[in-house]
Amino acid sequence: MENKAKPNGTAQLTYNGKTVDLPVYSGELGPDVMDIRALYKETGMFTYDPGFTSTGSCESQITYIDGDEGTLLYRGYPIDQLAEKSNFIEVCYLLLHGELPSAKDFEEFDWTIRRHSMLHDQFDQFFRGFRRDAHPMAIMVGTVGALSAFYHDSTDINDPVARTVASHRMIAKMPTIAARAFKYAIGQPFITPRNELDYASNFLRMCFAVPAEDYKDNPVLAKAMDKIFILHADHEQNASTSTVRLAGSSGANPFACIAAGIASLWGPAHGGANEAALTMLQEIGSVDRIPEFVARAKDKSDPFRLMGFGHRVYKNYDPRAKVMRETCHQVLDELDVRDEPLLQVAMELERIALEDEYFVEKKLYPNIDFYSGITLKAMGFPTEMFTVLFALARTVGWIAQWSEMIEDPSQKIGRPRQLFTGAQSRDYVDLSAR
Ligand code: SDX
């Protein structure tokens, strides 16, 4: 990766009679940045930014979000255009390589991914160690981490060829692992991937086919699944991507870094929100109970939040939520469950929230997780599988960001500092004297 930050003057920081100049850089889009790398050396002070609300951790050329405009670009292409006109494998190529593929490049890439979908024969034994009621995300963290015990020919992170092979293996095998986590939870036999099927169709077949009868592919649901994967593929330096970058900055095994990202994504404030949003809609249950829950979301003494609403960056409607809502209606129409009560509750909750001055003032709009749960439930996935599907799709984003970090000439091992407010140095006190 070539660093392309453009010097744009300096900012001055004056404290205790001392002034330091901090270089300012401009990117291609978005806010300028103040380079504080010399701050500690120049001033003996750290910056302080819990949650990194105002801190850029890296230079990146992959994904750009304009939270005020509600736009999302993958390598410059708007998410709504990609969802409408592209497919997930082409988006994987775009995120990894920076450009849309030629017909020949696409065919080669697609063929490679299809040919890496199988797992090592011994791998299936890992699933057997879990209780049947294990959360599928627990299974994903464990089994994806276990991939680091295989494929030793593609873990030399300093070898570009090994990085490419590890990237292809991760993208190709995640659906097979995710489908196995689902099958194991419901006590059905694992289904082997089929290379003649496209990525989304192959995944749905591995999830819903049973050996007792022929499986009938549904192109409408496969297209919806593919679109859902596109919407979830990458999203700048979110919590799980930052986790993968930080793990990778120490030179760790790439599969282990992805397992760390899965662990972070699991949280209900992040990728776990789709599961939490559906659980919330089920708890609300009917339109007439919505005001009670909206009041709770506004009550500072109540920890309840409207899951699927709000975002650290989007202070406008999440552009993915618009596409997700359209996809939700398409799936419910295809499955003839248009009058799904949860959809009625979701649409009325969205209408009320978008008019409520608390949500308007705090710029809390539905995010991608608000409609994804209803869609995935209608497709036959249990709630616990929702974040697994998010992890499946986000794997390419994690891999692209990890590769960019490895190739960034300015990258160093991540090691934040702190504001220490604990005990000062003191002598040990023997037990007899306590
Ligand atoms: C994802 O980062 C990414 O890009 C993530 C993601 C991706 O693709 O990787 O987009 C995926 O994680 C989407 C977000 C999914 N999470 C949820 O839907 C969970 C519910 N949302 C919230 O927990 C919250 O909105 C966050 C975590 C998403 C964002 O929180 P922030 O930016 O830290 O904002 P905040 O918690 O400081 O909230 C600002 C104010 C607070 O009130 P005040 O302290 O100012 O009085 O808004 C309130 C919050 O109380 N608020 C909410 C709310 N979200 C924020 N109030 C009610 N319901 C909510 N959902």
With a 6 A CB cut-off, is 364 part of the ligand 1 pocket? Answer: yes
Residue 172: predicted pLDDT: 98
Q: Render each residue's pLDDT in the chain as its tens digit; 434 residues.
A: 888 899 999 999 999 999 999 999 999 999 999 999 999 999 999 999 999 999 999 999 999 999 889 999 999 999 999 999 999 999 999 999 999 999 999 999 999 999 999 999 999 999 999 999 999 999 999 999 999 998 877 778 889 999 999 999 999 999 999 999 999 999 999 999 999 999 999 999 999 999 999 999 999 999 999 999 999 999 999 999 999 999 999 999 999 999 999 999 999 999 888 888 999 999 999 999 999 999 999 999 999 999 998 888 888 888 999 999 999 989 999 999 888 888 889 889 988 888 888 888 888 888 888 889 889 999 999 999 999 999 999 999 999 999 999 999 988 999 999 999 999 999 999 999 99
- What is the sign of the dihedral through the CA atoms of 3, 8, 9 and 13? negative
Does the beta carbon of 297 sit less than 6 angstroms from any atom of ligand 1?
Answer: yes
Residue-level length of the chain: 434
Predicted local distance difference test score (pLDDT) of residue 73 = 98
Q: What per-residue confidence (pLDDT) applies to 339?
A: 82
pLDDT for res 342: 86
The reported pLDDT for the residue numbered 402 is: 97
With 0.85 as the threshold, say if the pTM is over it: yes
Can you give the pLDDT at residue 275? 86
CA-proximal residue: ligand 1, atom 1 (nearest): 270
Active site residue 311: yes
Establish whether residue 243 lines the binding site of ligand 1, counting it when its CB lies within 6 angstroms of any ligand atom.
no
pLDDT value for 353: 85
How high is the pLDDT of residue 338? 81
According to the model, what pLDDT value does residue 341 have? 87
> Could you say which of 110, 311, 318, 408 is catalytic?
311
